[in-house]
Structure 1
Amino acid sequence: MDIYTGMESRITRGEIQEKLHYQPETEVIFVIKGHIEATVSDKVYILNKNDVIVFNSGLLHGMNVDRDAIICVVCYSYNMLSDIVHKDDCLFYCNSVADDIHSYRNLREIFREIVYQHVVLPHKTQCLLHGLLYKLLDCLVENFLLEESWDSTKANDADARMRQIFKYIEQNFRYNASLSGLAESMYMSASTLSRFFKKQTGVYFAEYINQMRLKYAFRELLYTDNNITRIASDSGFSNLSVFNRTFREHYGMSPTDCRKIKKTDIQKKEKEEQQLLKELREIGGIYPEKQIPSGITVEADVTAGEIYDKKWNKTINVGSMNTLMLANIQYHLVYIVENLGFKYARLWNVFSKKMMITDGIHIGNYNYDKVDMVLDFMVSHKIIPFLDMGARPDTAVRTENIVLYFEDENVQFKSREAWEETVSAFIHHIVQRYGEPETSKWIFELGYDIVHDIRCYEDEDYNYINAFQHLYKTVKEAAPAAQVGGPMGIAGLKSGSVAEFLRQCKDIQCVPDFVSFILFPYRNVEKNGEVKYLRSTEPKMEKETLEEINALLLREDIESKIYISEWNSSISSRNYLNDSCFRAAYIVRTLTQLWDCVDMICVWMASDWVSNYFDTNGIANGGNGLLTKDTICKPAYHALSFMNSLGKYFISKGNNYIITSTDKKSYYILCFNY
């Protein structure tokens, strides 16, 4: 034990056999190799490689170390612990074999650093090693220190008394330690205390005091150049003759001879330690994780920044229009818009049965009560509607081909005339209610669900282009600045049908303001008229798909914008990766790839409430939302928040990083691991 710091660390090899005993120090054992048998009170534990155990001061314990085992031992003196923790009794429950509550990862890592310093990086001073011993103690205090109430519930009277005795000895052995003074403080007679101490330790109190003084003096002889007289005085002996006599009785030689002989032994021991350290270097497994070289070096020209457009914080998908009548989804939408800065909220199934606008048969006398409730809410909160005027089912899927529930909630328009009149009346209603300046900000889309082949109306000669032409002309007549687009094609599937749609739009002079697609990391396989989804393993699948779309528009001489209406890492609404950091990393990685080849990316989606069902009774259920039902922000939410925090000027990006800057030359670097 270092008499000045009250700490010590050493690496030793068995064979060690310690009988049950008490000691004033707190001892921490870390098994580097092999296994040891540790006894605490009446319980025996077998510790293997990387196990940790604490032998508390004043508690009965013993240890048997195998011949080939190697352990790291760290000791803290009683006085040192009391001064640091400001408690008289510092007891730790630290036993990696028996404890299944605490995590021992940090403790093991600190021990590896300590061993690493012993073995690989010995420094000129002990400063770094002492720092690691303090770090280890801090970890013990913060995570394994027992409450004061433990003493009265779990410790026996003998252990409690022995800790009190050791406290007294540690504080007084170098001075005037007396059995009578200790007995008085413990409300015992000196004879009773003497018998108790002899029973617990095997030696009488005065003999133990002499052992402590001799141990202190022995270290002084070996590791200092102090003269014998001073050592005798500092150790607590009354005079030099008493010290010489006691020392000779115990060690069989004088203090002067001991200093000469033992220093030679120390040199021999140091050679043995060097051999042990060499062995440790060879067996490996001692290196702390953070010492392993890793990482990448990036050089970027910080003077070459350019302004870029954040394509990801414009539109958030919300759900069917009727879902926004729910207070929970309204609250979640406002929360996300206020905190993540989304400008648009995308809704679909405007003409669903639940909105009760029409029955799809009769023309006129439309009921806009529920529509007005939803749109009034959005406009009042300065959230701009992005309305998909097409039809789709209300559904949730567990896997690519397993559907949880499916409901066709849309009104079945019995004729083209009924649908067109309903659309015209709806557009004129919202322009009249909210005004042309407001509705000119809105986005209208006519999505076509190619998977389920859901059409806007019943007609033997149905053609999607006719429905799109009507929506386009109706919106442009009422609010010319409003955006109209489609067809919400599945990226990578039937590109020929999208090309045909664009050619037809040119022919009828209804070129969309934007061409919309949905994008998920799946390969879409069409077999016997049925579309199947297979997870793509291509790392740049999304990037390559967008490049194909850009090439398509270039071939067709179309200057429309490209909107990804729906985008996520999974189509499933019961995929726990949606709740994980995997999705967050996917979002950042994919946005890094896509932001220069698309005009808008609509995140899928706002809230887990949209896919609520009887099986969603947990805190997180694998839903697509950025928020759980309880408004817990998922990692995906934080990924978008990090992206929003990037600077105004783009400097550089790579497979794992984005570098940006601000006007004030502050640099924002976002790193990710996907």
Structure 2
Amino acid sequence: MKKYILKLFIVSAFANGETDRICLLKCSGYLLDRRKMLYFLYDDFSGERTVEMNLKEKDFDLTFQMGKGENITTVLNDIKLIYILSGSMDVSVGTENFNAGAGDFFLLNVGQSFGWKSREDCLYACLKIRYGLFTENLGMPYLYFICSTVRGDMNADIYQRVFQVLSQLVREYTAAPGTPGFRRETLWYSLMDILVRHCLFHRPESIENIEISQRMILVMQYVCANYMKNLSQDEAAKTMYLSSSAFSRWFKKQCGVNYGDFVTRVRLTHSVEDLIFTNKSMTDIALDNGFSNASVFTKVFRKHYGQTPTDYRKGHTSVQEVGNDLIARVKSSPEFLKIRSRTAVQKVRVVQADTDQGTVWEDCWNQGINAGDAADLLSARIQSQILTLKENLGLKYVRISNIFSSRLRLRKEHSVGPMNFDGIDGVMDFIISNGMHPFIDLCDREHVVFLAMNEFLYKEQAEGTFLTADELFQVLTDMFRHFVGRYGVREVSSWLIECWYDDRSRRVVGLDENYGVIFREICSRLKEAAPGIRVGGCGLELGISEQHFREIAADMVESGGIPDFITMYIYPYAGLRSQISDFDYTVEKLRLCRNILAQYHLEDLDIYVTEWNLSVSSRNYYNDSCAKASMLLRHVSSSAGCGRMFMYSVVSDLSSNYYDSSKLLFGAPGLMSKDGLYKPVYYALWFLRQLSGKLLACGPEHMITVSASGVYQILLFCPKALNYKYFLRKEYDIKPSDLEGMFEDNAQIVLNMEINHVPETDYYMKCYILDQTHGSLLDQWMSMGLPEGLNGKDIEYLKGVTQPGLIFRKISAAQGRLLLKETMELHQIKLIQIYPS
């Protein structure tokens, strides 16, 4: 086995004042023995160390090959699986002959002879798994698999399992040729697991129990598993439980050649493969395949093939990898195009609903919106976008923060004398005059534009608005007396107030005071000014601050400051790790909140989620995608009935404006772009608003309601979990074009739906469609080439073309049932409305 010198470099990375060690390993695509790998990862050393290690032969390989004519017959030395992408080939495997066309795949065992010929260009994927990987891990010296679509010996379930892994591997190797990845290794081991569990045909317990005439394949497998070693005849004879002389005679009789000649042929077969399909040097090829040096290899090779290895490499290029050109041909092949939509990778769901059952549907997701700093609402652009959302989503509350900010010119420094209410009156006038109510976040909050959790593009420190609790109480009392005088006690009593706790600085409204005491006094003063006003707190993300929440709940009970409702934030993070692909994150945090409240006898309080999103980042193009919209609905469906109000954060991308935000989209989390264009997540909330009446069914890809007038609304969505590629990147480093390859699968979901006890009549069915083709601003912008500097006419054009698709058709109910079948594509959302014709 070839030896390599592997250098390990230790690099220091400083985070939070601590040093983390990182090992950078480069092994030219070879896999290390895992026990040795772990030893060096955990060995406590620094600086540079040179270590001599034995590296295994490459365990897995997938190459795309194309050829016309005839391929020489070879004896196989590793497990191979051939998957035809286009064209066809006549195949010979041992004594068996068959034809394989596009879509077929077949497995070739070690020790079998294999050859093919084709009258046209045949494009295929050749997957190789090192035979020793099976024997080493299973402890079985000899293995034989049956896995083929051309022999008719695979049942449908096994076929689908193999095809799913096979198609994902092909996609992986075409998406980023030559780039390794954890997902690839996972897929390879999944394929091996399927083969061992379902396709393993021959696993002898003892060679002694096998007839001598049947042992030839086992000898070949022994040689193929160990060809790179010194394979003496004596060792081979021992494995067959024969003497060396008896083994020699038997082998010559069975195979027609001497044992030594057979070993040489196996080594030469591997050498030929390396010559054609790799750029290895002659020395590397010789050592990797069991020859003592390059000179011996060249001499043996010339004897068998009549030419040197170098000349052979030059003359045999008809079937080989040809880089990007071949990858392009693979992507345009008929079989590759079927991979995305093949029924073998569809997931089928059965959905049943009954109009005689169900619960009252309440839209908790469009009652309010998080608008950010109060001072931002003095902007005409923000006001225009809020009014658009109010009209289309039916907003009742607008949540604002930092009402004491110096940007509103309320008072000079820390004076508690006469105050200038013009700024805050302008904000309140806008909200109230347009039929909405303020939801005020009492806080002293810093202004932040997040890149990722604990990483900031821009951060403006909190102002330190109050020096003492008495100053806070006096300013708050005077302000709300002013509000009552200006808007009336009835209006102010309809407001909602949140007293936020800053878990980073452990302060409340900027003061280092006991939360329960401060909250009780605030609540008392506000209710004195407007008795009907509702006050709650404390606005924590339980994935990060569960212990702080428990402490505050205890403070509230101990101080007697019981809130009218509880507020919390939901951003899917656990510590600094994103949990965006945890479909149940939202509902689990709501249940955790409810359980903690129950421990303090507060379980009857309403829960208001006053900040709600899937990412804190303001520079993450996932925010602009259909993928986020579909995922958002998945979180909604799992948490229906668990909260009183969810306030999406935030209204507009304008909240994240900075020097780098001149493009149409820049990864901000708003429902609307800075130019007022709707993003997919806006349409997700608009679709939700169309649901009404009674909730008949709710599941991971659907919600079904029926209105009092007998209109059925069916909201369907096809969310996909993000894969490791997303989580290995910084959120702000992801480009729009990167998103396509960042999901666990692209399988369609087929929903077979049945609604029972419906009037037997004819119906109209109206279907809105949101996907990457219909209604996606990001995808439309990408199709235009991501242009910058768009003018007013360009924006108007985009408004017109980024709307959901719309389809009408007629359907009928029979025997009191409505039957529908919908196929959902990747990230797609459909709103289906069914009403009597």
Alignment TM-score > 0.5, same fold: yes
Q: Which residue among 578, 590, 600 is the counterpart of 1:556?
A: 600
Distance 1:375 1:300, change over 3 A: same
Structure-1 residue corresponding to 2:666: 621
Q: Which residue among 649, 652, 657 is the counterpart of 2:702?
A: 657
Structure-1 residue corresponding to 2:463: 410
Higher strand share goes to which structure?
2
Structure-2 residue corresponding to 1:229: none
Q: Is the 8 A contact 1:360 1:414 kept in 2?
A: no
Q: Which residue among 418, 436, 441 is the counterpart of 2:489?
A: 436
1-side partners of 2:673 and 2:495: how far apart?
Answer: 28
Q: CA deviation at 1:488?
A: 0.7
Distance 1:465 1:667, change over 3 A: same
Distance 1:604 1:669, change over 3 A: same
The SS at the match of 1:297 is: strand
Structure-2 residue corresponding to 1:355: 408
Distance 1:33 1:554, change over 3 A: same
Q: CA deviation at 1:318?
A: 0.3
Q: Which residue among 388, 391, 406 is the counterpart of 2:444?
A: 391
Distance 1:32 1:458, change over 3 A: closer
Q: Which residue among 529, 533, 542 is the counterpart of 1:478?
A: 529
Structure-1 residue corresponding to 2:374: 321
Task: State the Cα deviation string for residues 254-278 of structure 1 (Å, max 9, x = none).
Answer: xxxxxxxxxxxxxxxxxxxxxxxxx
Describe how 1:194-209 pairs up with structure 2 within 5 A: none
1:556 partner amino acid: Y
Structure-2 residue corresponding to 1:489: 540
Whether 1:421 and 2:474 are equivalent positions in the alignment is: yes
Whether 1:33 and 2:78 are equivalent positions in the alignment is: no
Q: Is the 8 A contact 2:374 2:427 kept in 1?
A: yes
Q: CA deviation at 1:363?
A: 1.5
Structure-2 residue corresponding to 1:365: 418
Task: State the Cα deviation string for residues 97-148 of structure 1 (Å, max 9, x = none).
Answer: xxxxxxxxxxxxxxxxxxxxxxxxxxxxxxxxxxxxxxxxxxxxxxxxxxxx
2:685 partner amino acid: L
2-side partners of 1:548 and 1:329: how far apart?
Answer: 35
Q: Is the 8 A contact 1:351 1:357 kept in 2?
A: yes
Structure-2 residue corresponding to 1:502: 553
Q: CA deviation at 1:389?
A: 1.0
Distance 1:427 1:481, change over 3 A: same
Q: Is the 8 A contact 1:511 1:560 kept in 2?
A: no
Query: Sequence identity, in percent?
Result: 30
Structure-2 residue corresponding to 1:607: 652
2-side partners of 1:500 and 1:401: how far apart?
Answer: 24
Task: State the Cα deviation string for residues 289-325 of structure 1 (Å, max 9, x = none).
Answer: 7672633222222321321211111110001011111
Q: CA deviation at 1:506?
A: 3.1
2-side partners of 1:291 and 1:455: how far apart?
Answer: 56
The SS at the match of 1:539 is: coil
Task: State the Cα deviation string for residues 331-388 of structure 1 (Å, max 9, x = none).
Answer: 1111111111111010000111111112342221111110111111111111110000
Describe how 1:27-176 pairs up with structure 2 within 5 A: 33=87, 67-68=119-120
The alignment covers a number of residue pairs equal to 398
Q: CA deviation at 1:521?
A: 0.7
2-side partners of 1:607 and 1:536: how far apart?
Answer: 21
Distance 1:629 1:452, change over 3 A: farther
1:546 partner amino acid: L
1-side partners of 2:640 and 2:657: how far apart?
Answer: 32
The SS at the match of 2:120 is: coil
Distance 1:671 1:467, change over 3 A: same
Q: Structure 2: which 5+ runs fail to align?
A: 1-67, 70-84, 90-101, 104-117, 124-333, 720-837
2-side partners of 1:463 and 1:287: how far apart?
Answer: 63
Whether 1:512 and 2:563 are equivalent positions in the alignment is: yes
Distance 1:580 1:68, change over 3 A: same
Q: TM-score, normalised by structure 2?
A: 0.45
2-side partners of 1:344 and 1:637: how far apart?
Answer: 17
Q: Is the 8 A contact 2:672 2:678 kept in 1?
A: yes
2-side partners of 1:32 and 1:541: how far apart?
Answer: 44
1:33 partner amino acid: G
Distance 1:548 1:376, change over 3 A: same
Q: CA deviation at 1:610?
A: 0.8
Q: Is the 8 A contact 2:702 2:717 kept in 1?
A: yes
Q: Is the 8 A contact 2:377 2:383 kept in 1?
A: yes
Whether 1:571 and 2:616 are equivalent positions in the alignment is: yes
Structure-2 residue corresponding to 1:94: none
Q: Is the 8 A contact 1:487 1:516 kept in 2?
A: yes
2-side partners of 1:535 and 1:604: how far apart?
Answer: 18
Q: Is the 8 A contact 1:652 1:658 kept in 2?
A: yes
Q: CA RMSD in A?
A: 2.7
Whether 1:588 and 2:626 are equivalent positions in the alignment is: no
Q: CA deviation at 1:656?
A: 1.0
2-side partners of 1:320 and 1:668: how far apart?
Answer: 36
Q: CA deviation at 1:456?
A: 2.6
Distance 1:511 1:373, change over 3 A: same
Q: CA deviation at 1:430?
A: 0.6
Q: Which residue among 342, 346, 364 is the counterpart of 1:311?
A: 364
Distance 1:68 1:329, change over 3 A: same
The SS at the match of 1:620 is: coil
Q: CA deviation at 1:458?
A: 5.0
Segment drifting more, 293-302 vs 619-628:
293-302
2-side partners of 1:635 and 1:470: how far apart?
Answer: 43
Describe how 1:237-248 pairs up with structure 2 within 5 A: none
Q: Is the 8 A contact 2:481 2:529 kept in 1?
A: yes
Q: Which residue among 586, 605, 621 is the counterpart of 1:542?
A: 586
Whether 1:338 and 2:382 are equivalent positions in the alignment is: no
Distance 1:634 1:415, change over 3 A: same
Q: CA deviation at 1:638?
A: 0.3
2-side partners of 1:511 and 1:458: how far apart?
Answer: 20
Q: Structure 1: which 5+ runs fail to align?
A: 1-13, 16-30, 36-48, 51-65, 72-282, 525-531
Q: Is the 8 A contact 1:363 1:422 kept in 2?
A: yes
2:503 partner amino acid: I
Distance 1:356 1:592, change over 3 A: same
2-side partners of 1:487 and 1:608: how far apart?
Answer: 26
2:586 partner amino acid: E
Distance 1:358 1:654, change over 3 A: same
Task: State the Cα deviation string for residues 598-626 of structure 1 (Å, max 9, x = none).
Answer: 11111111011111100111101111100
Task: State the Cα deviation string for residues 8-65 of structure 1 (Å, max 9, x = none).
Answer: xxxxxx99xxxxxxxxxxxxxxx95389xxxxxxxxxxxxx99xxxxxxxxxxxxxxx
Q: Is the 8 A contact 2:573 2:580 kept in 1?
A: yes
The SS at the match of 1:470 is: helix
The SS at the match of 1:367 is: coil
2:499 partner amino acid: L
Q: Is the 8 A contact 2:517 2:561 kept in 1?
A: no
1:518 partner amino acid: Y
Q: Is the 8 A contact 1:415 1:457 kept in 2?
A: no
Task: State the Cα deviation string for residues 398-450 of structure 1 (Å, max 9, x = none).
Answer: 12232111112535322222221111111111111100110111001111121
Task: State the Cα deviation string for residues 563-606 of structure 1 (Å, max 9, x = none).
Answer: 11101010011111110012101211111111211111111110
The SS at the match of 2:669 is: coil
2-side partners of 1:301 and 1:408: how far apart?
Answer: 55
Q: CA deviation at 1:284?
A: 6.3
Segment drifting more, 439-448 vs 659-668:
659-668
2-side partners of 1:451 and 1:509: how far apart?
Answer: 25
2-side partners of 1:371 and 1:443: how far apart?
Answer: 16
